[in-house]
Amino acid sequence: MQYCKKSLPCKSWLLKVILLLAFLSGQSFAADNDAGKARYQNPVIHADYSDPDVIRVADRYYMTSSSFNSAPGLPLLESADMVHWQLVGHALPQQLPLADFVQPQHGKGVWAPCLRYHNNRFWIFYPDPDQGIYVMTAEKFSGPWSTPHLLLAGKGIIDPAPLWDDDGQAYLVHAWAKSRAGFNNVLSLRRMNNEATRILDSAGQIIVDGNKLPNYKTLEGPKLHKHQGYYYIFAPAGGVEEGWQSVFRSRHIAGPYEDRIVMAQGASTTNGPHQGAWVQTPQGTDWFYHFQDKRAYGRIVHLQPMHWKDGWPVIGTDIDNTGKGEPVLSHAMPLAGNFPATEPATTDEFDQQQLGLQWQWNANWKATWFSQTARPDHLRLYTQYDTSFIAEKNLVNVPALLLQKLPAEQFTVDVKLDVSHLNNDGSSGLILYGLNYAWARGAAASAGARAIVSCLHQDSGGCCPMHRNYSGQPALA
């Protein structure tokens, strides 16, 4: 099947999660955060960049996030002003192990990564809950990135964060996933060598035990820092939708640690708020990125002001002066100046040799799935023979789905299809895809006739025509 150039404008459509084979336009991402404004609005990115980690190098800001089973994975975003972001690449071309991700592995793959800059290199430590902790490095943020190295193998080892200490020692802190390890709510510390190629103490030690703290559950997502003689661990607890942001501090890296809740939902409309990153500007002001779980729209990115009080960070606005902040929806811009109002791309003319950076496949992709050279200014998707679709009669576990993130609560999808050579029993079009999916609009052919089709719900067994042409030839000329 073949997709041609977009026709522009618009904005309107509330529906579910991730998008297949289409173009987006209209109000999106951080539409209220126009260049030159004195204030910004949260979320700064209204899209599913789950578990964001952010660093500053010189006067630039860099972000990566979870990508789960999608390929390419580990999105790379860059900003000049902390509010407007641009997608500049992906660190992980294909998911490892390669054979495991030939098929979609929903809920698996790349969980919460940690981004750092050390020894003139960018580093990403990322967990696969079924494999362990991988490490990648790059001299330039946009890549190329090194092949992932499995630093720490094991099931349920998640949410890593390194620290290179002043005395030359290197450490790794991480959390645990109960679904794999059989336990959670604890943070572990391990020593590693400076090149992060091997762990020096295989057993490690638990340095924070949430089971010994009142009302703590699901302690995870640690980020380890050293600041003014203290070791600080920023870590959320309480669950993704209902939890809060805690900070632990100690004079010694192995503890004991004291704890404090530094941000909770309070009276705000921002649920969670969940894990993220502490970033300091060259001017010395402090900021904290975190995500908010917004169900079908994914985990969207917020930016909060942060200040220090009595040796503890306070995130957001501290209304009652207790040291516990709550999220703000609007705030003065972090940096003065007129910065370009960039945002991650959504539209694609398909006039380049490569797909736009916003596109991700549902599993490890193959070059035989598509072509951008078979017909100029068009994307041709080749019909796939997929046994999972034949057996399950739905698209949930089909790998050759071309997807991008929903960019806003309201947006317009604009797609053109050439269906003039659609084969009998063939179909093509647009779906919204997540925990379930909807066949939003497309075309199907049967007995030489073609019809426009749509379906608001797609259960197992199928209510809509799907790809039934398994000839291996392009469905459209």
Share of the chain above pLDDT 70, in %: 84
Place of tokens 């200014």: 377
Using alpha carbons, list the distances in angstroms from residue 150 to 57, 98, 133, 135.
26, 14, 6, 7
Q: What is the pLDDT of residues 282-305, one digit of tens each?
A: 999 999 999 999 998 999 999 999
Beta-carbon contacts of 281 under 8 Å, excluding residues fewer than 6 positions away, are 56, 82, 287, 334, 335
370-371/230-237 β-pairing: unpaired
* pLDDT of 48 strictly over 80: yes
- In angstroms, the CA 17 to CA 50 distance is 13
pLDDT range class, residue 381, cuts 50, 70, 90? confident
CATH number for the domain running over 29-332: 2.115.10.20
Residue recorded with tokens 């708020």: 273
pLDDT reported for residue 413 = 86
Tell me where in the chain the CATH 2.115.10.20 domain(s) lie: 29-332
Handedness of CA 351, 355, 358, 360 (dihedral sign): positive
Q: Which of 132, 138, 128, 129 is nearest to 62 (CA)?
A: 138
Block residue for tokens 């010994």: 212
For the stretch 454-458, contacts whose Cβ atoms lie closer than 8 Å and that sit 24 or more positions apart, written own/partner, are 458/394, 458/395, 458/431
> By CB neighbour count within 10 A (0-12 exposed, 13-18 middle, 19+ buried), where does 8 fall?
exposed
Look at residue 464 and tell me whether its pLDDT is greater than 60: no
For 142-155, how does the pLDDT look when each residue is reduced to its tens digit (9 = 90+)? 999 999 999 999 99
> What is the chain's percent helix, strand, coil content, to nearest 5?
5, 40, 55
Mean pLDDT of 212-218: 97
Residues near 214 by beta carbon (within 8 Å), at least 6 away in sequence: none
The whole-chain average pLDDT of the chain stands at 87
Higher pLDDT, 221 or 8: 221
Q: Which of 53, 128, 159, 220 is catalytic?
A: 220
Pairwise CA distance, residues 61 & 318, whole Å: 26
Q: What is the DSSP letter of 382?
A: B
User: d(Cα 222, Cα 208) in Å, to the nearest integer?
Assistant: 10
How far is the C-alpha of 159 from the C-alpha of 187, rounded, in Å? 10
Pick the closest to residue 362 from 388, 398, 394, 386 (CA basis).
398
| 301 or 431, greater pLDDT | 301
The pLDDT confidence band at residue 382, using thresholds 50, 70 and 90, is confident
Mean pLDDT for 252-274 is 97
Concatenate the DSSP letters of all residues of 54-94 into one string.
EEEETTEEEEE---BT-BSEEEEEEESSSSSEEEEEEEESS
Q: Is 51 among the residues known to form the active site?
A: yes
pLDDT-derived band of residue 390, with 50, 70 and 90 as boundaries? low
Pseudo-torsion of CA 297, 347, 468, 102, nearest 10°?
-70
Does 472 have pLDDT greater than 70? no
User: Residue 135 CA to chain centroid, in angstroms?
Assistant: 17
Stretch among 302-316, 356-370, 390-404 having the lowest mean pLDDT: 390-404
Say what the pLDDT of residue 30 is. 57
Written as one string, the DSSP assignment of 242-271 is T-EEEEEEESSTT---EEEEEE--TTSS--
Element (H, E) at 390: helix 387-392
**Ramachandran category for residue 256: left, alpha or beta (phi over 0 → left; psi -120 to 50 → alpha):** beta
- pLDDT the model gives residue 299: 96
State the Cα–Cα distance between residues 166 and 171, nearest whole angstrom.
11
Per-residue model confidence as pLDDT tens digits over 153-205: 999 999 999 999 999 999 999 999 999 999 999 999 999 999 999 999 989 99
The predicted pLDDT at position 336 comes to 92
pLDDT in tens, 98-140: 999 999 999 999 999 999 999 999 999 999 999 999 999 999 9
Is the pLDDT at 280 greater than 70? The verdict is: yes
Say how many C-beta atoms besides its own lie within 10 A of residue 82's C-beta: 21
CB atoms < 10 A from the CB of 308, how many? 11
Q: From the candidates 48, 51, 128, 286, which is the catalytic residue?
A: 51
pLDDT at 202: 87
| Confidence check: pLDDT of 26 > 80 | no
